[in-house]
């Protein structure tokens, strides 16, 4: 039996746990430069000589020479054996310890053969890209701004319509081909999983090709398909472009996360080498753990559409438990129906840098999200917003940092959410008619289903003195456009009614001998005519 052991689980521990978090439970650490420093726990010293590298996952004492990772630190600092240290670290990571078995020589050889197969496949795919069969794929990727140098660096290729891998890798055992995810077994033998696809090799952190992502070229959906999970590849734990970005993340002191492979490559080749992307799947805790080990400063850059906003909220939820007082997590959005690739083509790196530099800190992003999601102009809405903020803040595991965030939000709630109380006595009262039950129920329905409309017309809705925390009754067949038109028409009607009241008062003043009242009546008549025209256009608009 070989003297090599299965490192999959220990690698997962190292990936999920930050060495700084593990060591700081026993040793106070201070960041100086790229590393953290403290007094060595393994010998007596007054001047810190114990260095911890979060990026590399190692500690080293320049005084006594002790050196190791999270496993050796746990074993030495707590005087426990390997298995006990593994169990303790697994508890910290929230994962179950598998049955520990040594890896035999056959397993080692099998895994090495898988890496060779995927590497040979990447070479075969790239060769096809520059042959006549791959002309349309090559034209497509060049049309996206990729140079031949970029294509070769990232080893892009083309999987033809016929069975390239299963047809030419005949010297490889069928079970080995299947295990890599490159081929499948059908009724008539093996067939390629990727056919007529632009191929993006997926590298592990060590730069080995372990899987592929294939893009459709005929407009069919899904746009991308990835290798299914294999012994070498787990999509939830793999970040596209990370092997190329590691050094850049170290230099830039941050990582940038975008939504797709092409965006990530274009960003890396246009001055943002620290950019990575998830693999056609939602961001996971494993992705964040891997990035935080490299650097806790992360800028998420998403499209500015509804899907991008939703992805940002999800990213915020996932990253909160990883926040520390030395974290700088931000959210940037590319608006106007564009993605980073389009911005780089039209505005270049300068335009992209403005977007990245203008990113919103996570504390402000969470605050803005809360204000957009709840009608904070009402007591019920503020209560819901308070509960939401509390649930999000509780995810922060750094207790002192969480306390600071709570204090910050308490200050904002006092100064912004309750500001209306200070102005209540000085705001002129407007005598407007009460809202009837049909209008009331319609508005309650709109507030419950269309937060964007609420955000846009929140001041007007809050002036109606409606309790929006009640049920809206029967469902209404409204879309967002109809909902906004309803609110705007109501606002115009009430504005016209106010103008008519003002006109009556001005006429009475004119009859009483006020010389300037006549001009005021004329002005009000113009305002009424303008408002009526707007209302008529709105009601006659073709939705």
The CATH number covering residue 33 comes to 3.90.580.10
Domain-embedded: residue 368:
no
Total domains, the chain: 5
- 140-144 LR contacts (CB < 8 Å, sep 24+): 140/198, 140/217, 141/198, 144/262, 144/266, 144/341
* 138 and 227 co-located in one domain: yes
Query: Which domain, by its residues, includes 487?
Result: 437-539
Cβ contact 435:363 at 8 Å = no
Q: Specify the pTM.
A: 0.63
Closest CA to 447 of 422, 484, 413: 484
- The per-residue pLDDT for 264 is 95
The whole-angstrom separation of Cα 129 and Cα 131 is 6
Beta 297-303 vs 255-257: how paired, if at all? parallel
Closest CA to 315 of 295, 338, 299: 299
High-pLDDT (> 90) share of the chain, %: 33
Is pLDDT of 105 > 80? no
Q: Tokens 């940092």 correspond to what residue?
A: 401
* 153 and 216 co-located in one domain: yes
Cβ contact 360:366 at 8 Å = no
Among 116-130, 315-329, 438-452, name the one with the lowest average pLDDT.
438-452
User: Running DSSP on this structure, what letter comes out for residue 235?
Assistant: G
Residues 14, 18, 22, 28, CA torsion sign? positive
Among 282-291, 314-323, 367-376, 411-420, name the one with the lowest average pLDDT.
411-420
If DSSP codes are grouped into helix, strand and coil, which group holds residue 191? strand
* 80 and 34 co-located in one domain: yes
Phi-psi region of 149 (alpha: psi -120 to 50; beta: other; left: phi over 0): alpha
Model confidence at 5, in pLDDT bands (50, 70, 90)? very low
- The per-residue pLDDT for 137 is 95
* 459 and 400 co-located in one domain: no
Model confidence at 470, in pLDDT bands (50, 70, 90)? low
If DSSP codes are grouped into helix, strand and coil, which group holds residue 159? strand
* 471 and 419 co-located in one domain: no
Model confidence at 425, in pLDDT bands (50, 70, 90)? very low
Q: Which of 74, 102, 130 is the last residue of a domain?
A: 102
* 115 and 225 co-located in one domain: yes
pLDDT mean across residues, the chain? 83
CATH value at residue 117: 3.90.980.10
Domain-embedded: residue 367:
no
* 446 and 525 co-located in one domain: yes
Instruction: Tell me the residue length of the chain.
Output: 543
Q: Which of 336, 359, 382 is the last residue of a domain?
A: 359
Cis check for the bond before 222: say yes or no (omega within 30 of 0).
yes
Domain-embedded: residue 366:
no
Closest CA to 456 of 476, 484, 479: 484
Among 82-91, 102-111, 131-140, 149-158, name the one with the lowest average pLDDT.
102-111
Among 255-269, 298-312, 314-328, 456-470, name the one with the lowest average pLDDT.
456-470
The whole-angstrom separation of Cα 447 and Cα 480 is 11
* 216 and 327 co-located in one domain: no
* 221 and 252 co-located in one domain: no
* 260 and 223 co-located in one domain: no
* 161 and 205 co-located in one domain: yes
* Strand order through the sheet with 209-216: 157-159, 197-203, 209-216, 224-226
Domain-embedded: residue 257:
yes
The whole-angstrom separation of Cα 207 and Cα 229 is 18
Six token digits for residue 223 = 């746009």
Cβ contact 476:445 at 8 Å = yes
User: Running DSSP on this structure, what letter comes out for residue 228?
Assistant: P
- The per-residue pLDDT for 154 is 96
Is pLDDT of 429 > 60? no
If DSSP codes are grouped into helix, strand and coil, which group holds residue 197? strand
Model confidence at 34, in pLDDT bands (50, 70, 90)? confident
* 152 and 260 co-located in one domain: no
Domain-embedded: residue 432:
no
Domain-embedded: residue 17:
yes
Domain-embedded: residue 57:
yes
If DSSP codes are grouped into helix, strand and coil, which group holds residue 325? coil
pLDDT digits (tens, 9 = 90+) for 127-175: 999 999 999 999 999 999 999 999 999 999 999 999 999 999 988 889 9
Cβ contact 444:466 at 8 Å = yes
Q: Which of 75, 102, 129 is the last residue of a domain?
A: 102
Domain-embedded: residue 365:
no
Is pLDDT of 530 > 70? yes
């Amino acid at each position: 039996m070989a003297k090599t052991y299965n490192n999959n689980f220990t690698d997962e521990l190292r990936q999920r746990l930050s060495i700084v978090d593990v060591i700081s439970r026993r040793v106070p650490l201070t960041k100086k430069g790229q590393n953290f420093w403290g007094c060595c726990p393994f010998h007596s010293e007054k001047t810190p000589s114990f260095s911890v590298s979060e990026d590399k996952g190692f500690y080293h004492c320049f005084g006594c020479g002790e050196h190791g990772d999270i496993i050796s630190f746990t074993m030495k600092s707590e005087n426990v054996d390997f298995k006990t240290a593994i169990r303790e670290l697994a508890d910290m990571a929230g994962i179950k310890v598998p049955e520990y078995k040594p890896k035999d020589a056959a397993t080692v050889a099998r895994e090495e053969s898988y890496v060779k197969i995927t590497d040979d496949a990447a070479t075969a795919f790239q060769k096809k890209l520059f042959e006549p069969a791959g002309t349309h794929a090559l034209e497509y990727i060049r049309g996206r701004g990729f140079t031949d140098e970029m294509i070769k660096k990232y080893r892009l290729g083309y999987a033809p319509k016929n069975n390239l891998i299963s047809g030419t890798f005949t010297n490889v055992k069928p079970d080995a081909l299947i295990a890599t995810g490159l081929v499948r077994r059908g009724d008539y033998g093996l067939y390629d999983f990727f056919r007529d696809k632009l191929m993006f090799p997926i590298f592990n952190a060590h730069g080995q090709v372990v899987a592929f992502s294939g893009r459709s070229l005929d407009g069919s959906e899904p746009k991308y398909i990835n290798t299914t999970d294999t012994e070498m590849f787990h999509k939830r734990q793999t970040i596209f472009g990370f092997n190329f970005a590691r050094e850049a993340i170290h230099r830039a002191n941050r990582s940038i996360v975008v939504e797709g492979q092409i965006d990530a490559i274009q960003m890396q080749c246009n001055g943002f080498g620290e950019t990575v992307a998830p693999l056609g799947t939602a961001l996971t805790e494993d992705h964040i753990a891997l990035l935080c080990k490299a650097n806790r400063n992360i800028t998420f850059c998403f499209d500015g559409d509804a899907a991008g906003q939703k992805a940002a909220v999800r990213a915020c939820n996932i990253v909160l438990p990883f926040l520390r007082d030395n974290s700088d997590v931000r959210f940037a959005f590319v608006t106007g129906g564009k993605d980073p690739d389009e911005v780089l083509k039209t505005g270049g790196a300068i335009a992209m840098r403005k977007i990245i530099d203008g990113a919103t800190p996570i504390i402000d992003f969470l605050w803005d999200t809360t204000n957009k999601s709840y009608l904070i102009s009402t007591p019920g809405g503020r209560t819901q917003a308070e509960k939401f903020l509390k649930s999000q803040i509780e995810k922060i595991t750094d207790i002192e940092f969480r306390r600071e965030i709570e204090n910050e939000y308490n200050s904002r709630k006092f100064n912004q959410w309750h500001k209306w109380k200070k102005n209540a006595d000085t705001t002129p009262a407007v005598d407007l008619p009460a809202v009837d039950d049909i209008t009331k129920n319609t508005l309650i329905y709109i507030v419950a289903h269309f937060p964007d409309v609420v955000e846009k017309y929140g001041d007007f809705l809050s002036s109606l003195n409606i309790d929006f925390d009640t049920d809206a009754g029967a469902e209404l067949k409204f879309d967002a456009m109809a909902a906004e038109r309803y609110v705007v028409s109501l606002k115009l009607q009430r504005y016209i009614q106010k103008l008519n009241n003002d006109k009556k008062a001005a006429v009475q003043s004119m009859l009483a001998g006020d010389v300037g009242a006549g001009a005021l009546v004329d002005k009000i008549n113009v305002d009424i005519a303008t408002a009526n025209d707007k209302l008529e256009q709105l009601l006659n608009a073709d939705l």
